[in-house]
Structure formats: structure tokens, C-alpha cells
């Protein structure tokens, strides 16, 4: 029987369509015949020695000659910091100029690697780069929200091979972030608890959907996962902003993120996925209410008309079965 499940963390309902449910193995895509990818491509703007093909960098880890990660402005930015910030309201027509920041984080010099295949130290460099850029941009005037995300594979919105993530800093708080913060605030007002801490505590107690647990982090599939194999990575220490992560947490997050993505890579044959870091807007005072996390969304199914018409997802995999499947994948 299908079941509607409530996602307390984000105040959304999901249909777990057990009647149409597939077994975890059914989500393994037929092996694509991909020719081997080289370690370097001379036309790739993100490969070492091709730095002149991308706009001047804003940050690098490494030294003047050899970099380990690099941050460059997006060549085709969704928002631009060259714009003056200007708001216009004319009757119902409300707009802000396209001010903001859109950067690409080149995760590694090697063209043909993936987080799932990198060393822990290399993944740590990526997280450290995220934090450095997050901190730097949160001090910038008119920036309200910073969204760090990764698109991996065509179904996730990229065909670029070179491992990279992106960051967009916006001059408004996106409505979905606002609504989740309001939900977390109301939850705190009613119960005196952080909804993130509470969900984490309950999922760890239930165990069925936990994929990885370390001293400082847990990776689990939400009870009401939006999509098959959705995973949340939550710090156990209450923190509203990703920017508050400390050195040992960076190290630990790198390790659990790598294991989570390796399990997907090995278990489901390198599926396309997105991940996003959900952090409190930069100028908010809801430090007690909100709990930052990283959400991994494999793109194994395609949202369609019902999702667009209702904002409610149909998930055809049981989170408990999917979690057990990934727990058993050795990395
Ligand atoms: Zn490259
Ligand atoms: Zn919390």
C-alpha cells in the first residue's frame, strides 16, 4: 500500500509509492559505454595550464605554481557582482537588479576524478574552500543567502566532466529557505527544541535509515525522502551556519561525504546526483532554531507533472530498504 509520510525537518509530505516501489537493485542504470576519460584535456577551462580559459580566479588552495582547488567566477553567471543593487516596485511588478555572486569551485586539478575516488585530504580541501568562500562572501554588502551546490551528470544539470561545484550568493532570501527557517522557528517556539537536532536524535534511535554514523556526523535517508536514495548529512553539534564548522569537523565531514558518495558510486554505478548545503541566511539571528545540513539527491527518477502541480514528491523506493542497501556497500 502507498503511504504518505511527513518530513518534519522541512514540513513537506511525500508519497512513498510502495505499490510501484522498486527494489534497490532496480535503480542501477544499465552500464553506459563511456570511453576512458583522460586526466587532462587541452580545451578544458578547469584543467591546470588552461587557467587563462576561465575568468581571473578569486581564490586558490595551493601555491602560486600548483593549486589543489581553485575558485573562479562563472563565465555565464546567473547573477553578477558588477551590477549595482537596485530595487524596483511598480504596482505588482517587483524586481531587484541581478546583483549577486556566481562562482565555480574547481575541486581538483585532475580532470577525470570524482569525490568518490579522491583521497580524504583532497575532499577536505574542497570543504575548506567552501568554508573560505562562504565566510568571505557573507561579509559582502547586500548578500543575504549563500547556496553551495554540486551538479554531477547530465540528469543533474551538467555535462562538464571536470569535477566542480558552484556557489551562488543572492541579494534576497529565497522563499524556500525563508519558509524552512520559519518552520524551524515555529517548531522551536512550540517545543523548545531545534527541529534538526530532534530529527537527528530520532533517526539515530530508529537506526533503520542510518547509512553512516561517526562521532560528529550522521548520514541518513529521511523517513520521508523526496527521491530514491536521498541522503542527509547532519552535524551532531548544533550549528545554524555551515560557516561555523571547525577544523576537525571539516576533516570528518570530508570523510563521511566521501564514503556516502562512494557508496552511491559503487552501489548504483555512478548515478547522476545533486548536493546542496542548507545553511541559515547570513544575517539571520535564528542561531538556536536552524540546523545546517548537506542534502544529497540522486537523480534516478524524473519529477513530473504531479510534483510540479503539488510540490509533493512521489518516491518509488522505500528509504529503509535503500538505506540497508547502501549500508551493505563496502567502501
Ligand atoms: Zn579538466
Ligand atoms: Zn540543532
Tell me, in angstroms, the distance from the centre of ligand 2 to residue 80's CA.
Answer: 33
**In angstroms, rounded to a whole number, what is the distance separating the alpha carbons of residues 116 and 119?**
9
- What pLDDT, in 10s, does the model give residues 31-88? 566 778 999 999 999 999 999 999 999 999 999 899 999 999 999 899 998 888 999 9
Task: Return the bridge partners of 105, or none.
Answer: 71, 165
Q: How far is the CA of 20 from the centre of ligand 1 (A)?
A: 40
pLDDT in tens, 209-265: 999 999 999 999 999 999 999 999 999 999 999 999 999 999 999 999 999 999 999
Question: Nine-digit cell at 259?
Answer: 564514503
* Residue 325 pLDDT exceeds 70: yes
Residues 6+ apart with CB under 8 A from 168: 78, 79, 100, 101, 102, 146, 147, 149
Radius of gyration of the chain (CA): 20
| Helix (H/G/I), strand (E/B), else coil: 58 | coil
Distance of alpha carbon 323 from alpha carbon 328, whole angstroms: 9
- pLDDT tops 90 at residue 104: yes
Ligand nearest to the CA of 107: 1
Centroid of ligand 1 to alpha carbon of 109 (angstroms): 7
Provide the pLDDT for residue 119. Answer: 97
Ligand positioned closest to the Cα atom of 38: 1
Residue in 141, 143, 166 with CA at minimum distance from that of residue 76:
166
C-alpha cell at 105: 569551485
Which pLDDT tens digit goes with each residue over 185-206?
Answer: 999 999 999 999 999 999 999 9
Distance from Cα 284 to the centre of ligand 2, integer Å: 15
Helix, strand, coil shares, percent, the chain, to 5:
30, 25, 45
Q: Which pLDDT value is given to residue 84?
A: 86
- Tell me the HSE value of 177 on the side-chain side, using a 13 A CA sphere: 22
Across 145-166, b (16+ Cβ under 10 Å) vs e yields bbebbbbbbebbebeebbbbbb
Average pLDDT along the chain: 94
Which residue in the block uniquely carries the three cell numbers 587563462?
52
Quick one: pLDDT at residue 83? Answer: 81
Average pLDDT over residues 91-110: 96
Instruction: State the distance from the centre of ligand 1 to the C-alpha of 118, rounded, in angstroms.
Output: 15
pLDDT of residue 229: 98
As a whole number, mean pLDDT of residues 133-149 equals 96
pLDDT band at 29; cut points 50, 70, 90: confident
Q: Report the share of the chain in percent with pLDDT over 70.
A: 98
Q: Given pLDDT bands bounded at 50, 70 and 90, which one contains residue 26?
A: confident
- Residue 8: is it exposed, middle or buried by C-beta count within 10 angstroms (0-12/13-18/19+)? middle
Decide: residue 176, CB within 10 A, 0-12 exposed, 13-18 middle, 19+ buried.
exposed
* Averaged pLDDT, 9-27: 86
Q: Which ligand is nearest to the CA of 234?
A: 2
Q: Which of 111, 162, 164, 291 is catalytic?
A: 164
Identify the pLDDT of residue 30.
Answer: 63
Question: Is 164 one of the annotated active-site residues of the chain?
Answer: yes
For residues 199 and 9, the answer to whether their CB atoms sit within 8 Å is yes
pLDDT confidence of residue 14? 97
* pLDDT classification of 11: cutoffs 50, 70, 90: very high
Amino acid at each position: 500500500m502507498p503511504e504518505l509520510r511527513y518530513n518534519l525537518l522541512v514540513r513537506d509530505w511525500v508519497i512513498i509509492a510502495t505499490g510501484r516501489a522498486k527494489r534497490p537493485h532496480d535503480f542501477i542504470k544499465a552500464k553506459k559505454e563511456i570511453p576512458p576519460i583522460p586526466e587532462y584535456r587541452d580545451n578544458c577551462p578547469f584543467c591546470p595550464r588552461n587557467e587563462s580559459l576561465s575568468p581571473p580566479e578569486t581564490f586558490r588552495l595551493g601555491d602560486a605554481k600548483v593549486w589543489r582547488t581553485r575558485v573562479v567566477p562563472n563565465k555565464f553567471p546567473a547573477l553578477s557582482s558588477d551590477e549595482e543593487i537596485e530595487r524596483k516596485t511598480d504596482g505588482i511588478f517587483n524586481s531587484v537588479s541581478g546583483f549577486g555572486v556566481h562562482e565555480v569551485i574547481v575541486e581538483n586539478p585532475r580532470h577525470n576524478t570524482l569525490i568518490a575516488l579522491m583521497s580524504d585530504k583532497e575532499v577536505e580541501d574542497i570543504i575548506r574552500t567552501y568554508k573560505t568562500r562562504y565566510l568571505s562572501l557573507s561579509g559582502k554588502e547586500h548578500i543575504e543567502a549563500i547556496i553551495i551546490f554540486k551538479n554531477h551528470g547530465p540528469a543533474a544539470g551538467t555535462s562538464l566532466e571536470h569535477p566542480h561545484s558552484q556557489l551562488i550568493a543572492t541579494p534576497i532570501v529565497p522563499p524556500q529557505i525563508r519558509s524552512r527557517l520559519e518552520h524551524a522557528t515555529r517548531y522551536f517556539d512550540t517545543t523548545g527544541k531545534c527541529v534538526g537536532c530532534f530529527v537527528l536524535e530520532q533517526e539515530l534511535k530508529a537506526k533503520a535509515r542510518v547509512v553512516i554514523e561517526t562521532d560528529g556526523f550522521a548520514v541518513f535517508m529521511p523517513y520521508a525522502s523526496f527521491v530514491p536514495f536521498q541522503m542527509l548529512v547532519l552535524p551532531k553539534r548544533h550549528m545554524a551556519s555551515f560557516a561555523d564548522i571547525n577544523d576537525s569537523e571539516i576533516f570528518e565531514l570530508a570523510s563521511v561525504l566521501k564514503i556516502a558518495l562512494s557508496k552511491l558510486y559503487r552501489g548504483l554505478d555512478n548515478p547522476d546526483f545533486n548536493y546542496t548545503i542548507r545553511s541559515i541566511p547570513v544575517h539571520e539571528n535564528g542561531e538556536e532554531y536552524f540546523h545546517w545540513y548537506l542534502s544529497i539527491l540522486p537523480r534516478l527518477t524524473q519529477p513530473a507533472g504531479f510534483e510540479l502541480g503539488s510540490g509533493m514528491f512521489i518516491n518509488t523506493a522505500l528509504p529503509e530498504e535503500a538505506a540497508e542497501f547502501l549500508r551493505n556497500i563496502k567502501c
